[in-house]
Amino acid sequence: MDLLETLDKAERVLILAHHNADIDAVGASIPLKEYLGKKAELAVPDTVSKGARDLAKDYDFMKSPEDVDYDVVVVLDCPTSEQLKPLDLKDFEATKVLIDHHSPSDLIDTVDLAVTDPEARSTSEIVYEILAGQWDINKKAAEALICGIVADTSHLRLAEEKQFKIISELLPKTDGTYSEILSVLSTPIDRSERIARLKAVSRSKIYEIGEKILVFSYVGSFEAASARTLLKVGADIAIVFSPRSDSMRVSGRCRRELTEDIHLGKDLFSEIQDLLDGSAGGHDAAASGNGRNADMEEIKNAMISILEDIFDGKIKEL
């Protein structure tokens, strides 16, 4: 099945990003919308993230669309069905397509066509490769793709030659400077997120395994941002939980140099997916999980056991 041929033949296409769609998800959605025009509609299960709202401001992202009468549904940047709730792909009789750069999870078994590349740094990068040479990428699409690539490479700190080459090819199409495009990514951190980050630091439980520093913490929200903060203040691996009465979200980050020894998504988070009673996975240095098991200590202890096996040593609390 050829993706662009399938999209071209369709009369109605739904472009669906994951819950709390981040800059990469929005950055990948906009070029497909620009390519397909009026026959495509944008949607999210719940919200667009605060960081991506400036990028999305000229577009209408429907919330949990009730209409399921589409010819094609394209799911972007979303490996797990958990991240699409309350939507269920099974409700759509359309041809289902997944475009993603995460390690494949349960969604890959429910789609008709999967365009995935875990080696890609962003889903925007994959969308660029789909469209490049097949369509004269316009200004709005180019700006969105650059933002998606930059965001998912930590402002190019994790970028390689390929990502710089793509950006150099896209930038002339924008009629702007690189700094002007990046201005949409500079969203100030609001008070609630700053408080969550500070709470994550204050609630930290610090462990060591060899020379590596492992930190566990918990917050009510902003678990991913809190995990990144813990890395900045000294952790080698940071795991932050966001427990609810009947559910759990958990986010993990590790230093890039540790990815020679551990793939956080495959080696740790995928291994606790069943215990989490939901879905989990991610990249080598960044991973997340969502599930119905709210027992933080049980999941934490399982992670400690897995990490002891990976690093062949005992984890000790400091």
Among candidate residues 316, 253, 317, 246, the one with its CA nearest the CA of residue 283: 253
Q: Are 193 and 222 in contact (CB under 8 A)?
A: yes
Mean pLDDT within 105-122: 91
The yes-or-no verdict on residue 18 having pLDDT over 80 is: yes
CB distance 150 to 156 below 8 Å: yes
Per-residue pLDDT at 283: 84
Q: What is the pLDDT of residue 131?
A: 97
Domain boundaries, the chain: 3-185, 200-317
Comparing 299 with 279, which gets the higher pLDDT? 299
Q: What is the CATH number of domain 3-185?
A: 3.90.1640.10
Task: Specify the higher pLDDT residue, 31 or 79.
Answer: 31
42-55 mean pLDDT: 91
- Paired with 208 in beta bridges are 213, 316
Residue 282: the pLDDT is 84
Q: Look at residue 107 in the predicted model and tell me its pLDDT.
A: 86
Residue 72 pLDDT? 97
**Residues 248-266: what's their mean pLDDT?**
94
Domain 200-317 class in CATH: alpha beta
Kindly tell me the burial class for residue 245, based on how many C-beta atoms sit within 10 Å of its own C-beta (0-12, 13-18, 19 or more).
Answer: exposed
Mean pLDDT throughout 261-270?
Answer: 94
Section 291-306 average pLDDT: 95
- What is the full DSSP assignment across the chain? --HHHHHHH-S-EEEEEPTTB-HHHHHHHHHHHHHHGGGEEEEESS-B-GGGHHHHTTS-EEES------SEEEEES---GGGGTT--GGG--SEEEEEE-SPP-GGGGT-SEEEE-TTSS-HHHHHHHHHTTTS---HHHHHHHHHHHHHHTTTTTT--HHHHHHHHHHGGGTTS-HHHHHGGG-PPPPHHHHHHHHHHHHT-EEEEETTEEEEEEE-SS-HHHHHHHHHHTT-SEEEEEEE-SS-EEEEEEE-GGGGGT--IIIIIIGGGHHHHTEEEEE-SSEEEEEES---HHHHHHHHHHHHHHHHTS--EE-
Average pLDDT over residues 214-224: 96
What pLDDT does 30 receive? Answer: 98
pLDDT in tens, 176-191: 788 888 787 877 788 9
User: Given this model, what pLDDT does residue 82 score?
Assistant: 81
Task: Average the pLDDT over each of 48-52, 246-250, 269-273 and give the range with the smallest value.
Answer: 48-52
Average the pLDDT over 32-43 and give the result: 97
Average pLDDT over all residues of the chain: 93
**What letters, b where the CB count within 10 A reaches 16 and e where it falls short, cover 70-89?**
bbbbbbbbbbbbbbbbebeb
Query: Quick one: pLDDT at residue 14?
Result: 97
Topology alike, domains 3-185 and 200-317: no
Residue 157 CA to residue 151 CA, distance in Å, equals 10
Query: Does the pLDDT at position 113 exceed 80?
Result: yes
Least reliable range by pLDDT among 101-110, 118-127, 140-149: 101-110
In this prediction, residue 248 has a pLDDT band, given cuts at 50, 70 and 90, of very high
Does residue 105 have a pLDDT over 80? no
In the predicted structure, residue 264 carries a pLDDT above the cut 80: yes
Angle ∠(18,21,23) on CA atoms, nearest 5: 130
Binned at pLDDT 50, 70 and 90, residue 115 comes out as very high
Name 16's bridge partners.
Answer: 43, 75
